[in-house]
Every structure is written in C-alpha cells, then in structure tokens.
Amino acid sequence: MHEFSVAESLVEQIGEIVAENGLAEVDRVELEVGELRQVVPEILQLAFRETARDTPAEAAELVLKEVEARAECRRCRRTFRPDPWDYSCPACDVADAKVLAGDGLVLKSVVASESSGVAVV
Ligand SMILES: [Zn+2]
C-alpha cells in the first residue's frame, strides 16, 4: 500500500519543518494530492495517524486537496484530463502526452499551535 510510504515521507517532511522553525505541536497539515497518484484519502488518513504517532504531528488534522489531472498531447497540443492508466489523447488517440498537473504530492502548509501562525512551504 503506497499510502504508507506517502505518509512516511509526509511525516518526515513535517518533522524537518518543525525542527527548522522551532515548532512544537502541529495542528493542521494541508497536502495537495494529484489524482494521478491514485492515493485513497481514507487510507492515507489512517496511514498518517499510524505514522505520526509519537511525532509532533500526532494530533494534526490532515487536510487533503485533490488536484485534477491535466495533460497535453504532444502531437495536437490538445489539453485533456487523462486517466491514471491511459494518457491517450481524445482527439488523435495516441498516448504521447505530457502531464501538466495532477501527478504531484505537495505539502502546502503546516499550522502549529504556539507559533505565530502558518509556516507555508
Ligand atoms: Zn492529440
């Protein structure tokens, strides 16, 4: 289950931010999830709870924002929404597309209780 490896790197990243900024408890974490990553939100939430145990992110709320996938066909330059398993262009039916959005996992913000607010990354 790759949600667990996602959760692990997320907790690791949060740990670094916490250390760099001298934060204590983390209240809230916002993560942008590209739909092409095929992350199941419920499983990622569970994985995060497990992984964050005994870390500064233990009590943090994980907010997931899904990012819709966009791809551009290299032949006809049409942009479309690809399926994770099929990047074929709807116009020319050739799978030769460049992904423009929706394939990333981006930590958007970490909100900690006693700092002055938000450390946006
Ligand atoms: Zn095309």
Instruction: Read off the CATH number of the domain in which 31 is found.
Output: 3.30.2320.50
Residue 84 belongs to a domain: no
Token representation of residue 31 = 């993560």
pLDDT tens-digit map of 53-80: 999 999 999 999 999 999 999 999 999 9
- Residue 49 and residue 61: Cα distance in Å, rounded? 9
The domain in which residue 20 lies consists of: 2-68+101-114
Rounded distance, CA 113 to CA 109, Å? 13
Helix, strand, coil shares of the chain, percent, nearest 5, are 30, 35, 40
Task: Look up the pTM and report it.
Answer: 0.84
Pairing outcome for strands 79-80 and 26-34: unpaired
Is 22 a residue whose pLDDT tops 60?
Answer: yes
Q: Distance from the CA of 91 to the center of ligand 1, in angstroms? A: 5
Amino acid in the structure at residue 19? A
> In angstroms, what is the span from residue 102 Cα to ligand 1's centroid?
19
Please give the pLDDT value at position 118. Answer: 55
What percentage of the chain exceeds 90 in pLDDT? Answer: 85
State in Å: Cα 83 to ligand 1 middle.
15
Ligand 1 center from residue 78 Cα (angstroms): 6
Distance 72 CA to ligand 1 centre (A): 8
